[in-house]
Structure 1
Amino acid sequence: MSGLLDVDRLARWLDAQGLEARLPVSAAPLAGGRSNAMFTVDRGNQRWVLRRPAAVAMPNADAGMVREYRILAALEGTGVPHPAVVALCEDPAVLGRTFYLMERVDGVALTPPPQPLATDRGRVEISRSMAESLARLHAVDWRGRQLADLGRPEGFHERQTERWTRQLRSYEGRELPGVDGVTAWLRGHLPESFTPTLIHGDYHMLNVLIAPEPPGRVVAILDWETATIGDPLLDLAGFCEIWSTSLGDGWGTPDQLIEWYTAARGPGAVSPLGLADLTYYQVLYNFRLTVLLEGIYQRSLRDPTRPAMEDVGARARWNLDRARQLVHLHG
């Protein structure tokens, strides 16, 4: 399987974990992963998903797997929809990289929406569930769940522009005109304060699974590689930004999404003052997404196991143009 998964070695590791020991194992690549690779794994009566770094991986990709596993394990019992983790392997002798196993959730991709939910009511149900699921994530007691060292809330915004600028430069790829203007604007418009929460960092329709039958609801949030302790308004603004610009009419306006979100968070959890102008967060979200997508695109050009992801490269440029547009509109 492109050298990323050796079924015999995986079977021996599963035996050692006591996971349906000595039964036949079948595995197949699972579409959807960009920065990382995923495979379905079946053994006996169990159905799992294996997640590991791609052949050409991000820096510190193995530590990223451990981090994702830790977050998913900490979410158990919180009400945040997520796949339950099964086991983590940090031994490179098994598959060459750190990987983890999680339960396969009975859900479907949102795009296109499953036919039973492709109705006005279904779209509203899904939109509301997306907003409420994000609110539940932001309500998690991250200190009580032993996630206090996951990020550094102090100086969170001061570090954002520098961190993502460094990451973009590290690709040593193509020029992206207009980046300097966006980063200069961000440095000049930092929020004065925020209440830190656990944030996903990339919350949108491609990173969730939806129940295949009505009522429309989120059954799992996926791809936790950018999760940290930070400003929840970055998650909220990013969610509203990509949701409203990608799905069109009938999927909830940004105002509706914010209303559902704030109702689920409860009185006083979100400051109306902070919601008054989300422009900074929209610009930062689009800049971050530009950098993330550009990284995926540049790694695809060097990865013999994957085709060049030209669509991802084009989307990176689109998000940068969107950030530039927002800066221009708001001065």
Structure 2
Amino acid sequence: MSGESASAEEIFAGTKPVEERHRFDQALLEGWMKDNVEGYKGPLTVEQFKGGQSNPTYCLRTPGQAYVLRRKPPGKLLPSAHAVDREFKVISALHGAGFPVARPYGLCMDESIIGTIFYIMSMEEGRVLWNGALPTLSKEDRGRLYRSEIETLAQLHQFDPQAIGLGDFGRPGNYFSRQIDRWTKQYRASETRRMEAIENLIEWLPRTVPEQTRTSVVHGDYRLDNIMFHKTEPRVLAVLDWELSTLGDPLADFTYVIQGWVMPHDGRASLGGIDFKGLGIPEVDEVVDIYCKATGRDGIPDVNWYFAYNLFRLSAISQGIAGRVRDGTAASPQAIEAGERAEPLAVMAWDYARKAGA
């Protein structure tokens, strides 16, 4: 990994000793891996990734190979959250279809092994880039890397879910209506105080849902630091973190990505205010063109409604983190800060809703 965006790198990148609350009986895990992971040969050493805020994630190393373990966090959880079995199902289907994801090795639904369900996948060796301005890359490679990111998303959206074994991965229609309902319930389940902007959105969004014209596999959190890029080439090696994936409207994913082009650049993935031309990073209209050409679309509808929805969802996710801080189940030291973002995100969402006619 490069040394860019030191604060994000220091906070989220790399591994640390396993936190006390996330420890488990390593011998039981080794026994399970011998029986269930093809080619496994110990001995095993275990560390915890600094990221993996929602689902604790571990680096498992043996003399011959490294693996990644993703698990549900222990303790009281929100309904339908932390569904690592769904993550395993989607990466298994996509790996089989030739999409760039880690290789799935095994899913364990037996909570007696490490205390919660978990799955094992390959450890991909590449780069996770935290700073959207890509300061360590050349101007040419910046452009190529962003093209690869957008074309990879387009590839995901072109799969026929039925044909790759994901026909039952979600319901085919009314995606935004169902998501608004889901995130409203998640917000209510972790609510810590009343927020006027959220109340406004909960009332307005369901009444104004745009028509869904396509159904595809959607990632749900497609952004720069959820992608592993090749060590030296500006191309996607593996898309990470499928916790929020389902069947839905591909515009949810795509508008989530292009929202990063207008959100203020803060050293992370968002790019608003940077010198696109000088850095060699495509402008938002170029990004739209790349995606539309790859998916056969004529264009993208007015984005303000989608931006309002995306920010509402992020606010609800942040409130869920605040709830986990309250309940003692948050998996990252940065959880308190993340939980405090719920209200500013809701206010921003309502601003976009008003631009969309609210």
Structure-1-length-normalised TM-score: 0.90
2:338 counterpart of 1:312: yes
Structure 1 residue 264 and structure 2 residue 294: aligned? yes
Q: How much has 1:101 moved relative to structure 2?
A: 0.4
Q: Does the 8 A contact of 1:20 with 1:43 survive in 2?
A: no
- Provide the residue aligned with 1:329 in structure 2: 355
Q: Distance in 2 between matches of 1:165 and 1:219?
A: 34
TM alignment of 1:26-175, pairs within 5 A: 26-56=45-75, 57-61=77-81, 64-112=83-131, 117-175=136-194
CA deviation after TM superposition for structure 1 residue 21, in Å? 5.3
Give the Å deviation of 1:308. 6.1
Aligned to 1:254: 284
Residue 75 of structure 1 aligns to a residue in which SS?
helix
Q: Percent identity?
A: 30
Deviates more, 1:102-111 or 1:320-329: 320-329
Instruction: Name 2:227's counterpart in structure 1.
Output: 208
Indicate if the aligned counterparts of 1:137 and 1:199 stay in contact, CA closer than 8 A: yes
Q: Which moved more, 1:150-159 or 1:234-243?
A: 150-159
What amino acid maps onto 1:170 in structure 2? A
Alpha-carbon distance in 1 for matches of 2:135, 2:191: 46
> Aligned partners of 1:116 and 1:288: how far apart in 2?
30
Task: Give the superposition deviation at 1:116.
Answer: 8.5
3-state secondary structure, aligned to 2:208:
coil
Distance 2:306 2:41 in 1: 51
TM-score if structure 2 supplies the norm length?
Answer: 0.83
- Asked if 1 retains the 8 angstrom alpha-carbon contact of 2:315 and 2:345, the reply is yes
Match of 1:227 among 218, 236, 245: 245
Q: Where does structure 2 lack aligned partners over 5 or more consecutive residues? A: 1-17, 264-269
10-19 vs 107-116, which moves further = 107-116
Distance 2:39 2:252 in 1: 42
CA distance in 2, matches of 1:114, 1:93: 45
The alpha carbon displacement at 1:259 in A equals 1.0
Supply the distance in 1 between the matched residues of 2:346 and 2:51 (Cα, whole angstroms).
23
Following TM superposition, by how much is the alpha carbon of 1:29 offset from its aligned partner in structure 2, in angstroms? 0.4
Runs of 4+ in 1 over 6 A off after TM superposition: 113-116
Instruction: Give the secondary-structure state (helix, strand or coil) at the position aligned to 1:24.
Output: coil
Cα distance between partner residues in 1 of 2:133 and 2:103: 23
Cα 1:42–1:290 change in 2 (3 A) is same
Larger mean CA deviation between 109-118 and 28-37 belongs to 109-118
RMSD, aligned α-carbons: 2.3
Point out the more displaced range, 307-316 or 252-261.
307-316
Say whether the 8 Å CA contact 2:321–2:336 is kept in structure 1: no
Amino acid at match of 2:297: V
CA–CA separation in structure 2 for the residues paired with 1:36 and 1:132? 27
Contact 2:88 2:107 (8 Å CA) reproduced: yes
Q: Flag the 1:234–1:52 CA change in 2: closer, same or farther, 3 A.
A: same
Shift of 1:211: 1.9
Partner residue in 2 for 1:241: 259
- In structure 1, give the amino acid aligned to 2:79: P
Corresponding residue SS for 2:127:
coil
Kept in 2, the 8 Å contact 1:167–1:291? The answer is: yes
- Per mean C-alpha deviation after superposition, the further-off stretch among 226-235 and 117-126 is 117-126
1:284 to 298, 303, 309: 309
Q: Deviations over 1:192-221 (max 9, x none)?
A: 33111111111112211122213x122111
Q: Is the 8 A contact 2:305 2:356 kept in 1?
A: no
